[in-house]
Structure 1
Amino acid sequence: MDRLAAMTAFARVAETGSFSEAARRLRSSKSVVSRQVAALETDLGVRLLHRSTRALTLTEAGHGYFDQIVRILAEIDEANLSVSHLQAAPRGRLRVNAPMSFGIRHLAPAIPDFLTRCPEVEIDITLNDRFVDLVDEGFDMAVRIGHLIDSSLVARRLAPLRRIVCASPAYLAARGLPTTPDEISGHECLCYSNMSAGNEWKFTTPDGRPWPVEVKGRLRVNNGDALRVAALEGLGLACLPTFIVGEDLRAGTLVPVLAEAVHQEGGVFAVYPHARHLSPKVRAFIDYLVERFGPNPPWDRAAP
């Protein structure tokens, strides 16, 4: 038995929950992958997978073994990269995680040009707004928005993050234009529920002191694009990044409110697990995103 091949086969089955999908990713056959995993279980003397007609799940032993071999396989890949021509040639499958709105609006349109530049790279993108564990879930890198928490991940800034409070002209005509942050609390506000502080909007006084305002409203949503739609329909004020509403501000379908007072922090970042030899495919993709977005990203060029 080729133990390394068997470990790799098991890792792909564990990641995908499917012998067929694991075989596709390994460019092998389902029967070969199944035999490799069975041989590994026999050699270890323990069952790693629960098999049924409906699903594959990891046993308790399988979970523990998977956690160990993910790190081992990553170290082997790193060792190979450090001495191979792959250091200069981006290739292979790149697994990327990104937030839904940013991924659809800005990451997806960037992919075709990158794949043209790097014809030996294939990209597997997962879009969601939850916080993923890159190592445990097998991602090479992620795009993250806002203020980064301390972690073992390496971060590189792709672009600044600019937030703005805005509303439709119809809403402001009916309810009036707030002239100070405190007046915001008397308005119908559209709240982002994916943040623990979604009911507090941050502003800054003219002399630079924090000016937090508690907001309330009848609508809470865990997605920025859904809040944008509600704002366009005149349901209230929304505090959103310009990468979502930049074009609306330019078109006048949304109007900025207290733009100079909104507190700005954080950014758009690429994050990846620490490695002594950064994979060429990851390095190439991050360099490309920095080049495409940069300090004056296209969504801010569209905004007034």
Structure 2
Amino acid sequence: MDRLMSMRVFVTAAELQSFTAAAKALGISAPMVGKHINALEDHLEVTLFHRTTRRMNLSDLGRVYYDRCMGILHDVEATDTLVRELSHDISGALRITMPALFGKRLVAPILFSASQNYKNLKFELYFDDNAPDILTERFDLAIRSGFSSLRQGFASQHLTNYPMVICCSPSFTKQYAVTDLAQLKNVDGLFYSRSGQVRPWRFPKEDGRTLEIIPQCRLILNDIEAITDAAEAGLGVAWLPSWLVKDRIDKGRLIRLCPEQETLQLNYHLLWPKSQQLPAKTSAVIEMIRSCL
């Protein structure tokens, strides 16, 4: 017999202290209630009820089994409710902020698909590299990037990571031969910065420390796609996330330098304001983004 159904019958009979009352509550016959209880007792090889002509009570093992069945049935119901909500009751507005280019290239297509699946869900998407305050601006979800795990006053999940890549144009390699990291110090570099401050490129060493290198500063830009264009134009060497330059490398428009060198991973995280229970709309979108990246 269906074990889960038998548990429901058992719990109902225990609460109502009557097979007849349990049968009426469940819409089945009293003999069927007895079959479910007998099936459980045969399976467990224990007596769940002490029954007389006047009353019935749970045995000691029956009380233990009742408590565990209640927990199992509650978990099953909660799981069913969650899936039902995720499938049918996703509605309302969802405000999401994310890095501009990463969001447009990789996340937006996923959310466009989500918009097709959840007709009652309204998206408000904000592409911003300046990382607006999540709470002040009432965002439901944010995507952040960084080289280390983010620890803020928010709930978070690691989303994905991409290695950083050293690359330049084929024409640039004809002018400057770069076969190891030390040679980067002597070539023109293209740097990303919003403040104008140049930060070193970082590479892990075998001893666990990090090697930091700053090439000759040729250009500083606050847009990583513009840096990619500058690298392709032969203006210097760039240090960029692999997701951004993969297509240009595959097409031969850029060349990866020192490909055998281990490089740092650029991590992306999902963040949202902490609450006792994550709204179904946010859970659904988080799962869709995680499964597609």
User: In structure 2, what is the Cα distance between the partners aligned to 1:120 and 1:198?
Assistant: 45
Identity %: 24
Instruction: Give the 3 Å change call, closer, same or farther, for CA 84–218 of structure 1 in structure 2.
Output: closer
Amino acid at match of 1:134: I
Name stretches of at least 5 consecutive residues in structure 1 with no aligned partner.
1-82, 294-304
Matched residues in 1 for 2:96 and 2:131: separation? 13
Take 1:168 and 1:208, find their aligned partners in 2: how far apart are those partners?
31
TM-score normalised per structure 2: 0.66
Any idea what the Cα deviations from partners look like across 1:29-51, whole Å, max 9, x if unmatched? xxxxxxxxxxxxxxxxxxxxxxx
User: How far off its partner does 1:85 sit?
Assistant: 11
Change (3 A) 1:206 1:110: same
Alignment of 1:93-104 (within 5 A): 93-104=93-104
**What do residues 220-265 of structure 1 show as CA deviations (whole Å, max 9, x unaligned)?**
1111111111111111000000121111111111111123325313
Q: Look up the match of 2:124.
A: 124
Give, in whole Å, the separation in 2 of the partners of 1:153 and 1:260: 37
The 1:228–1:185 alpha-carbon spacing in structure 2 relative to 1, beyond 3 Å, is same
Deviation larger for 130-139 or 193-202? 193-202
CA distance in 2: counterparts of 1:87 and 1:143, whole angstroms: 24
**Using the alignment, how far apart are the partners of 2:239 and 2:106 within structure 1?**
19
Taking the aligned partners of 2:196 and 2:175, their CA distance within structure 1 comes to: 30
Query: Distance in 2 between the 1:130 and 1:245 partners?
Result: 22
Contact kept in structure 2, 1:95 and 1:140, CA below 8 Å: yes
- AA in 2 matched with 1:104: K
- 2: CA distance between counterparts of 1:196 and 1:161? 25
Q: Which TM-score applies when normalising by structure 1?
A: 0.64
* Separation in structure 2 between the aligned mates of residue 218 and residue 179 of structure 1, nearest angstrom: 20
Which residue does the alignment assign to 1:158? 159
Of stretches 239-248 and 141-150 in structure 1, the one that deviates more from structure 2 is: 141-150
* 2:157 is equivalent to residue 137 of structure 1: no
Please say if 1:168 is aligned against 2:202. no
Alpha-carbon distance change, 229 to 144 in structure 1, aligned in 2, over 3 angstroms: same
Q: Work out whether residues 190 and 227 of structure 1, in 8 Å CA contact, stay in contact via their aligned partners in 2.
A: yes
Matching residue's letter, 1:276: Q
Amino acid of the residue matched to residue 90 of structure 2?
Answer: P
Q: Any idea what SS the aligned residue of 2:94 has? A: strand
1:233 is matched with: 233
- Code of the aligned partner of 1:171: F
Conserved? CA contact 1:165–1:262, under 8 Å: no
**Structure with greater Cα Rg:** 2
1-structure distance, mates of 2:83, 2:292: 26
Aligned AA (2:153):
S
2: CA distance, partners of 1:235 / 1:265: 25
The residue aligned with 1:287 is: 287
SS at match of 1:96: strand
Tell me the SS of whatever aligns to 1:145. Answer: strand
In structure 2, runs of 5+ residues without a counterpart are 1-80
How much does 1:112 deviate? 2.1
Amino acid at match of 1:93: A
Q: Which residue does the alignment assign to 1:39?
A: none
Q: Residues 228 and 85 (structure 1 numbering): CA distance in 2 closer, same or farther, change over 3 Å?
A: closer
8 Å CA contact 2:199–2:214 kept in 1: the answer is: yes
Letter in 2 for 1:112: F
Distance 1:255 1:156 in 2: 33
Query: Which letter maps to 2:217?
Result: G
- The aligned runs of 1:78-227 (5 Å cut-off) are 88=86, 89-146=89-146, 147-176=148-177, 178-194=178-194, 198-206=198-206, 208-227=208-227
Secondary structure in 2 matching 1:135: coil
Amino acid at match of 2:165: I
| Alignment correspondent of 1:256 | 256
Kept in 1: contact 2:98–2:131 (CA 8 A): no
Q: Judging changes above 3 Å, is the alpha-carbon distance between structure 1 residues 85 and 256 closer, same or farther for their aligned structure 2 residues?
A: closer
SS at match of 1:111: helix
Structure 1 pair 195–282 and aligned structure 2 pair: CA distance change class (3 A): farther
Letter of the 2:131 partner, please give it: F
Q: Does 1:270 align with 2:270?
A: yes
Counterparts in 2 of 1:84 and 1:114: CA distance versus 1, 3 Å:
closer
Q: How many Å apart are 1:106 and its aligned residue?
A: 1.2
Aligned residue-pair number: 210
The secondary structure found in structure 2 opposite 1:219 is: strand
CA contact 1:202–1:262 (8 Å) conserved in 2 = no
Q: CA deviation at 1:271?
A: 1.0
